[in-house]
Structure formats: structure tokens, C-alpha cells
Amino acid sequence: MNATESAEMTPVAHPATATRAALVCGILGIILVAIIIAAQLVWAFNPYQDATDQVNFLLQTQPDLEVRLDYIELARTRLQVYLDTNIAYAVADMGPSAEEQLVEALAAEGIRSTDVRTFTSLLKNAAVELIALQAELQQPEMAAPLKPLFYQVRQQPQVSDSEHLNQIQELSPKVVEDLNDLRRRLQSISTYLRQITESSHLERIPAVLSPDAATALSGDSDAWVYLNAYAAWKGLPKASESLEIQFAGTVSILEDIFTAVNTARVQDIRWGFSTWEPAAVWINTHLGITIAAAIALLLAAVVLWMRSRMNWIRAEQGPNQGIQGIMTNLALALRQARPTLNLPEAGSNKVGEPAPPSLAQPARRRTLNKEGESINPRLLVLWPNGERENHPLAPDMAFRIGTDPRNPVFIDNRDAGYIEIWVRGARASFFLEVMFCESPVMLNRFPVSGARALHDGDLIQVLDVSLIYSEK
């Protein structure tokens, strides 16, 4: 068998198979490119990006928000002296006979029976609210699942995750409602007790029946429960004041966060972003692999299409004509071949010849990191009498300054009103936050309100007390 007969007997691949394969690869490659473009468009119209930026800004202004979200524990700590349910139940269950004994005993002192009944009624209302408040403080905190979401947003501010933001939007109203219930309880109790302390007629009742005064009320009378309850609760309005301020600030920031996320959620419902977000996130996460797959499919389509074209030509020309045509073209190419490439000699350096472009190395991005620095934060307190106190600061708890005797820096000035100032650590530095102060607070001789970052050597002035923040 000669070469011609062998070539005639060799089967030629059918060109339709290669054409179909090229068509399938091309369609898949085009679909993949369209998916990549669609994913970029979906991510470009992400409505949660602005909400993430707003939430991050609000969280930066409130570095201790997670601590204040432990509102149940804060209320228990601040009010534990007054949360004696035994007295509250005794006052709530007191019958009319005790009230009549109190009316008879105070009639000799010129106190009207209506004032006595108002006094006992206010104490009973306060007792009912105290019992309800104690029951609420035994319930689990609604903000427990909200704190890790805020922590994740703080740690990854560049990530706009609709799932976490929607969870924040769903949990925030429940926490706000729970906080507002506590605020209403505290305000009701304070209102009932202030009506007694701020009324000259009602405040005279416990003064007349004090243990030092001579009264006609017997020592074993049930009416003494009212006097004991008033003596135990009259400090509640003052103790609830700063707690109410903290709760109001927490409610305000949670409402702002809810508004920011809710705006993005409305746009999400309008555009259907959440429907396409999982696919867009996956495509953007594996963008390199997706682009490589699209390029490979398109290249395969081109190669298969060219092979199908050659098969069609071979099928039309036949085997003998195809081989003869190839040999003729090869001989013609060999006869017309000429050396056209002039390679430069080794070591030659021609003038004017452009140098090969050098690859510029990408500039390294400089970052600022304070984790390696060692500081010793503390406050130097300068009292008006010349005494000095040095207080170290802990980053995990707030340092308190104010008129509460339990504060490390106690300002004993009753004419100044209520003062509550915190110095606390947040991330890389410490902050000064004025929670409540009727007198001006000066930072480096400028009045401040809200939160301000502290730097080494800053001077804080409250009334006649000076404090110097130091990190050395």
C-alpha cells in the first residue's frame, strides 16, 4: 500500500463536532463574563455600604456602648441598696387601719388627714413600681445578642454585611423598648418620692414622726412601715438620675443606628439587593478564579472554532488535494524565506536605542500601629487645699469623677448639683466623657461636652478641682 492510498483511507474528524464544542465553550465564557459584570454592578449599588459607614461612625462616638448595653447589671449595681422587696411588699399590703392610726397620731400636730392619705398613697404607688422594677431586673437582658454584632462591625469596618445589619435592625427596637420600660419605672418611682420631698406639707409628716420626736404613735403600730419605707427610699431619685442619663444616651444611639439600617433596608426591598447578594459575594470573593475560567473558555472556543474551520476546508478539498496543497505551500515558503531578524551582538550598546521598560515595584503601604508602645496612663488630682492624689487608669473599666461618694474622685459640693464624669479606655487611647454636669467642665481651658480623646499632659478642670492626664 503506497502513501497515497494510506492518506485516502485516513478518516477526517467531522467539523460539526468541533463547531458545536466551540459554540458551547463560547456561550459558557460569555455567560461567565456577564455574571462577573453583573456581580460588580450589584456590589456597586450596595445600599448597606452607607449604613455600615454610619453605624461605624456612631460606634466610634460611643466607644463604651457595649458596656452600657449591660443595663440590667448597671441598674442592679446602682440601685441594690434600695431594692428591698420586703419593705415594698409590706407597704403594698398595708390595710386602712394603719393609715387611720397615722391620721389620728398626726391630727394632734395639726396635719390634715388628706395630707396623710396622700403621703401613704404615694408610698404605695412607689412600692408597686419597685416590685415591678425588681421583677424586670430579674429578666435576661435583651441586648445580649446585640453586643457581638457591634463588636464585629467595629473589627471589620470595611465589610458591609446585610445579614448582620438586618439583625441589628431587628434587635434594636426590642432593646430600646426594654430600656424605655426601665426608664419609665425609674421616672415613676422618682416622681412619687419627689412629690413628698418637694411638698412642705407632706415632708412634715416623716419629720414629725421621726424616732427623736415625741409622738402619739405607739412603737408596735403598723403605721411605722410607711416611715421606714420613706427613710429607705428617699435617696432613690438621686441614685436614678445618672442611670436615667445613661439609659437615655443608649436609647438615642440605638435609635440612630436603627434609622441608618432601616433606610438601607427600604432600598434593599425596592431593588432586591439581598436576593443577588450571596452570588455577588461569592463571585467577588473568587474573582481571580472566575476571570481565569472565563478566559480559558473563550480561548478554548477560539481554538476549537479554528480547528473546525480547517476540518471544513479539508473535507471540501479531499485528502489528496489537501496534502498536495500543504506540500506546495511549504515548498513556496522555503524558497521565499529570507533572514529578516537582525539580532544585536553581545555587549553592543547602540546610541538612541530605547532601554527596556523596568517594572516598577509597588510602593509599600505604611501603616501606623501602637500595639508595641508601653504607656502608664494615670490621673494626677490637684485638690484646692494643695493635696495631690495619683490614680492609675485601667483600660477595661471607667474611672468616675463626680458627686457620688463612691467615686474615686468625690467632689463634695452640694451647691454644684449632680456631676458624673467618666475617663475610660477605648482602643488605642483614653477618652473623657461628660455624662452629666450642671457646671462647666474644662479641657485645656476650653469647655467640653460629650466625649473627647485625651493626650499626654491634658488638663481637666471641674469647679476648683484640677486633674492632669499622663501616659509616662
Closest CA to 73 of 181, 182, 235: 182
pLDDT in the model for residue 335: 60
Question: What is the tens place of the pLDDT at every residue in 368-412?
Answer: 334 456 778 899 999 999 899 999 988 888 899 998 888 999 988
Confidence of residue 314 (pLDDT cuts 50, 70, 90): low
pLDDT at 127 over 60: yes
- Least confident window among 19-28, 223-232, 259-268, 327-336: 327-336
Q: Model confidence over 179-216: pLDDT tens digits? A: 898 889 899 989 998 898 888 888 888 877 766 554 55
1 vs 71: which has the higher pLDDT: 71
Q: Give me the sign of the Cα torsion angle 24, 27, 32, 33.
A: positive
Task: Return phi, psi of residue 409, to 5°.
Answer: -110, 100
Q: What is the pLDDT of residue 158?
A: 62
18's grid cell: 468541533
Return the exposure string of 348-379: e unless at least 16 CB atoms fall within 10 Å of the residue's CB, then b: eeeeeeeeeeeeeeeeeeeeeeeeeeeeebeb
pLDDT of res. 345: 43
Residue pLDDT, tens place only, 293-311: 888 888 888 888 887 777 6
Q: What is the pLDDT of residue 338?
A: 47
The residue-averaged pLDDT of 262-279 equals: 76
Residue 201 burial (CB < 10 Å; 0-12/13-18/19+)? middle
- In 10 A of CB 176, how many CB atoms? 18
Residue 427, φ and ψ in degrees, nearest 5:
55, -110
pLDDT for position 4: 43
The predicted structure's pLDDT at residue 313: 66
pLDDT (0 to 100) of residue 327: 59
| Cα(401)–Cα(242) distance, integer angstroms | 12
Examine the pLDDT at 281 and tell me if it is beyond 80. no
Please return the burial class of 195, using the count of CB atoms within 10 Å of its CB with bins 0-12, 13-18 and 19+: middle
DSSP H helical ranges for 156-272: 162-197, 200-208, 224-233, 236-271
Q: Please report which confidence band the pLDDT of residue 44 belongs to, taking 50, 70 and 90 as the band edges.
A: low
In eight-state DSSP terms, residue 438 is: S
The residue type of 25 is C
pLDDT at 66 > cutoff 60:
yes
Q: How far apart are CA 92 and CA 87, in angstroms?
A: 9
Q: Could you say which DSSP state residue 210 is in?
A: S
Reported confidence tier of residue 268, pLDDT bands at 50, 70, 90: confident
Q: Identify which has the larger pLDDT, 454 or 166.
A: 454
Given this model, what pLDDT does residue 353 score? 45
The predicted structure's pLDDT at residue 138: 87
CA distances from 217 to 96, 185, 212, 390, 412 (A): 16, 33, 13, 53, 37
State residue 346's pLDDT score: 42
Check pLDDT > 90 for residue 443: yes
pLDDT at 348: 42
* Percent of all residues in the chain with a pLDDT value above 90, rounded to a whole number: 11
* For the chain, domain boundaries: 13-41+286-322, 48-214+221-284, 378-470
pLDDT at residue 316 in the model: 56
Q: pLDDT tens across 16-42, in order?
A: 777 888 888 888 889 988 888 877 776
| pLDDT number for residue 352 | 43
Is the model more confident about 91 or about 1?
91
**Which residues on neighbouring strands pair with residue 402, listed in sequence order?**
410, 420
pTM of the model: 0.51
pLDDT score at 49: 76
- If one compares 320 and 67, the residue with the highest pLDDT of the two is 67
- Calculate the average pLDDT of the chain: 78
* Beta carbons of 211 and 87 less than 8 angstroms apart: no
Provide CATH code, domain 378-470: 2.60.200.20
> In the predicted model, is pLDDT for residue 343 greater than 70?
no
pLDDT score of 423 more than 50: yes
Q: Is the pLDDT of residue 354 over 50?
A: no
Query: Pairing mode, if any, of strands 446-448 and 450-453?
Result: unpaired
Amino acid letter, 292: A
Banded pLDDT at 43 (limits 50, 70, 90): low
Which amino acid would we find at residue 290? T
Listed range (172-181, 211-220, 287-296) with the worst mean pLDDT: 211-220
